[in-house]
Amino acid sequence: MERRLVGIPASPGVAVGPVHLLWWEVPEVRHRIIPDEGIPDEQTRFIGAVERSKTRLRQVRERVEGSAGPQEAAIFDVQLSILEDAELLTGVAELIKQNLAAEKAFDIVMSDWRTRFARHSHPMLRERVGDLTDVHIRVLTLLLGLPDHDPIDVPKGTNAIVVTHDLTPSLTVQLDREAIAGIATDAGTRTSHVAILARSLGLPAVVGLRSVTTELTGRERVIIDGSTGMLAINPSDEDIAQYEQRAREEVAAETELRELVTADAVTTDGVAITLRANVDLPEDSDYAAATGADGVGLMRTEFLVLGRAAMPDEDEQYKAYTKVVSAFHGRPVIIRTFDIGGDKLPIGGFPAEANPFLGWRAIRMCLDQPDMFRTQLRALMRAAVHGDVRILLPLVVSAEEVHGARMLLDEAADELAERGVEFRRDVPLGVMIETPAAAISAETLVDGVSFFSIGTNDLVQYTLAVDRGNANLASRFTPTHPAVLQLIRRTVEVGHEHDIEVAVCGEMGSHPLLAFALLGLGVREMSVTPRSVLVVKRMIRSVSVEAARAAVEAALKARTAADAEFILAERIGEFGIVTRSAQG
Ligand code: PEP
Ligand code: MG
């Protein structure tokens, strides 16, 4: 019988397929004592699980080497060597000898190792915590007889719907697009990174379903509708037919929109808007360029790092940036330096933090690791030879950070000059406005800066103290909150006073209703998810800036985000544009 769950629509499109339940968390282990005579069998059971895990890891290694290359595959060598470590194996054997069940013995030893490594002063060793966690999960899964799922082990052509509690970006980048048709998660919101990445991969996704992993056994078929947030369990043939019809309609609507590819993004009162696309992976650049976008307003370079054990070197980065620059044939390409940290971590991770979103992320991490940062800056200045590259710094809160980045940029340029490599030194530098601090004190950030780009995902998160990835808070993630609208307005004013371009590259621009509010707040440049370029262009071509300004003036007087949204929806409705709720 069919059941339906409703979550948050995170990436449009309809997908039908078998469930691939991905359980990638350390399972809970009960204390279990075994009698003396059971000890030899328990030792054999443990060794058997270790050997099976190793066989499994070798298979995964081979597959990843084929699909992603030897560097990515090297992660699995680290994990194999953990399973061969004599100290680990004897540690577990000793505890089994003391009558502990194999799973409990292994759990105790691994938990201890993970804690020790997490506290280690050497960063290389701290990075191993992620590998230890993977091994911990893999062996316990076998010892406890739990369904044995590998996050990336889905045969091509399966059209599986990955169902999981929360898909970390590092797992997301390992998903094989030829095997997976969609994503459904308990956690997450529209602006969590899994949602952003799903949109960029063109995979339908429903997030914030809260309990989908416990509702499913892994043997079902489901439909997910990434435009409405619906997930139907074991749908009837009729339902499937109906949804397939919906999918065809969506394709038809997209075909109609494609007529706007070459049209100008100009409002009915003649104001031209620069409409760019966000690119998360270099492979997305052809699709993004085909939308007719005026260049790239945000390339999130951290997606080059996620899911990998080692940082890409200068040449690899240079090639990745050049690919995007070439796809846009001279149109501006704004590339953001690594925004690693928060929920965007490479495999192996970084030290666990109590408050990762308030932690060692983005520009902070880059300034503290100057070698890594200069490598990226050199790759960017080399790629700038091939087009109009501009560099964007994430999560800036102070002028010192801009100054520090500028110094490293100069040093990186000197290094390239010394090497005699072709590069461009005068690459424009911009800063992201993503915190109340940056918006309120935007004047302090203008020196040597050519542009601001407002990251509304983080700006809303930090202004309202609402975790952008927490499904329980999705209805409180309200970009139309008066505080958010005022901070954007203030940033735009400062930009105008100092002759600095102000763009918006957060998800707010991808939502027609919110993009209408941005027009009213004076924003003339937006960078949106590639799939939204034409929808937003249609909105721009249907409204006047005059009306948007009046609407936002009224919205700014509202006492609540909901009232403000209601006013905006009413005003944009006068132009025949109907939009869904902007929350979450
Ligand atoms: C933002 O915060 O709005 C933004 C564009 O950056 P990210 O979503 O990558 O944090
Ligand atoms: Mg951000």
- Does one domain contain both 295 and 317? yes
Q: Reply yes or no on whether the pLDDT at 511 is more than 70.
A: yes
258 domain-assigned: no
Identity of residue 155 = P
Task: Give the per-residue pLDDT at 189.
Answer: 80
261 domain-assigned: no
The residue with greater pLDDT, 397 or 65, is 397
Catalytic residue among 149, 386, 505, 511: 505
- Does one domain contain both 192 and 319? no
Q: Reply yes or no on whether the pLDDT at 581 is more than 80.
A: no
Task: Give the per-residue pLDDT at 580.
Answer: 67
Q: Reply yes or no on whether the pLDDT at 506 is more than 80.
A: yes
Give the integer Cα–Cα distance in Å for 573 and 551: 11
Task: Supply 219's token pair.
Answer: 């043997």
Mean pLDDT (whole number) for 104-110: 94
Task: Give the per-residue pLDDT at 243.
Answer: 85
Q: Which ligand is nearest to the CA of 457?
A: 1
Among the candidates 143, 167, 190, a domain finishes at 143
Count of the separate structural domains present in the chain: 3
- Does one domain contain both 378 and 499? yes
Task: Give the per-residue pLDDT at 74.
Answer: 74
Nearest to 288 by CA among 12, 508, 535, 532: 532
Task: Give the per-residue pLDDT at 436.
Answer: 98
> Measured from the CA of 461, which atom of ligand 1 is nearest?
2
| Cα 459 to averaged position of ligand 1 atoms, centre (Å) | 8
| Cα 333 to averaged position of ligand 2 atoms, centre (Å) | 18
With a 6 Å cutoff on the Cβ, whether 456 touches ligand 1 is yes
- Does one domain contain both 202 and 315? no
Task: Give the per-residue pLDDT at 120.
Answer: 67
Give the integer Cα–Cα distance in Å for 67 and 65: 6
- Residue given tokens 């609208």 in the structure block: 485
170 domain-assigned: yes
With a 6 Å cutoff on the Cβ, whether 506 touches ligand 1 is yes
- Does one domain contain both 15 and 42? no
Backbone angles phi, psi at 269, to 5 degrees: -100, 25
Among the candidates 143, 178, 211, a domain finishes at 143
- Does one domain contain both 290 and 354? yes
Q: Reply yes or no on whether the pLDDT at 347 is more than 60.
A: no
Tens of pLDDT, residue by residue over 146-203, are: 876 666 678 888 899 999 988 765 567 667 878 999 999 998 887 777 787 788 778 8
User: Residue of the nearest CA to atom 4 in ligand 1?
Assistant: 455
Nearest to 159 by CA among 9, 63, 16: 16
Q: Which domain holds residue 19?
A: 3-23+150-253
Q: DSSP letter at 354?
A: S
Task: Give the per-residue pLDDT at 482.
Answer: 96
Mean pLDDT (whole number) for 20-48: 92
Nearest to 405 by CA among 437, 439, 365: 365
Determine the 3-state secondary structure of 579 from DSSP. coil
Residue 392 maps to which CATH number? 3.20.20.60
Predicted TM-score (pTM) of the model is: 0.76
3-state secondary structure 503-546: EECCHHHHCHHHHHHHHHCCCCEEEECHHHHHHHHHHHHHCCHH
The residue with greater pLDDT, 245 or 384, is 384
Catalytic residue among 193, 386, 481, 511: 193
Instruction: Indicate if 505 belongs to the active site.
Output: yes
- Residue given tokens 């001279």 in the structure block: 330
> Measured from the CA of 394, which atom of ligand 1 is nearest?
6
- Does one domain contain both 403 and 461? yes
Q: Reply yes or no on whether the pLDDT at 255 is more than 90.
A: no
Task: Give the per-residue pLDDT at 78.
Answer: 82
309 domain-assigned: yes
Among the candidates 88, 115, 143, a domain finishes at 143
With a 6 Å cutoff on the Cβ, whether 278 touches ligand 1 is no
Q: Which residues pair with 501 in a beta bridge?
A: 451
129 domain-assigned: yes
- Does one domain contain both 55 and 183? no
By the 8 A CB rule, do 169 and 195 touch?
A: no
- Does one domain contain both 13 and 102? no
- Residue given tokens 């890409």 in the structure block: 312
334 domain-assigned: yes
Residue 113 maps to which CATH number? 1.10.274.10
Q: Rounded mean pLDDT of the chain?
A: 90
Q: Reply yes or no on whether the pLDDT at 308 is more than 70.
A: no
Give the integer Cα–Cα distance in Å for 569 and 548: 11
- Does one domain contain both 198 and 287? no
| Cα 271 to averaged position of ligand 2 atoms, centre (Å) | 28
User: Residue of the nearest CA to atom 1 in ligand 1?
Assistant: 455
CA dihedral of residues 250, 513, 396, 322 (deg, nearest 10): 30
Cβ neighbours for 48, distance < 8 A, ≥ 6 positions apart: none
- Does one domain contain both 408 and 348? yes
Q: Are strands 3-6 and 501-504 parallel, antiparallel or unpaired?
A: unpaired
182 domain-assigned: yes
* Half-sphere exposure for 526 (CA within 13 Å, toward CB): 35
